[in-house]
Amino acid sequence: MSEPILLEVLTAERRVFAAQVSELQFLTATLGYYGILPGHTPLVTPLGDGLLTYTQRGEKHGLTVFGGFAEVGPDHVVILANQSETPDMLDADQVRKEHQGALLALKEALSPEEQESAQRALTLSEVRLQALSS
């Protein structure tokens, strides 16, 4: 078995998550999803808004990551996110309400700015719903 990867997820406000994992995947801003295994080539990449998934003791888990950067090394990954939450930080009822509100706002948006704002809110709520179901 390979050595584990230390995964740290940080925001400006707090340390969201830190643990040894066997693998992880995250959405980059421009190149789709990256899959990281122990011994990965070092890199730094901007992050998109999406679900970061990781495997720990054979079980898959997920958490939200909204923007920022990932610094990948052979045995350590640091996610510097603009915003991030683990599923236990989320209120499922509130996330569902936000999702419904975003759908309604997108349907009723008239200007490009309103459409963009509603689409952003919809994306955030969809990622949070994915985290709650992971």
Q: What pLDDT shows up at residue 134?
A: 82
pLDDT at 62: 96
pLDDT value at residue 54: 97
CATH class of 5-88: mainly beta
41: CB partners within 8 A, 6+ apart: 72, 74
Q: What is the pLDDT of residue 3?
A: 83
- When pLDDT is cut at 50, 70 and 90, the band that residue 68 belongs to is very high
Residue 52 has pLDDT above 90, yes or no: yes
pLDDT band of residue 89 (cuts 50, 70, 90) is: very high
Residue 1: pLDDT above 70? no
What DSSP state is assigned to residue 99?
H
Amino acid 107: pLDDT: 92
Distance between CA atoms of residues 68 and 114, nearest Å: 24
33, pLDDT greater than 60: yes
User: Rounded CA gap, 72 and 120, in Å?
Assistant: 27
Instruction: Report whether pLDDT(2) > 90.
Output: no
- Assess whether pLDDT exceeds 90 at residue 83: yes
Percent of the chain with pLDDT over 70: 99
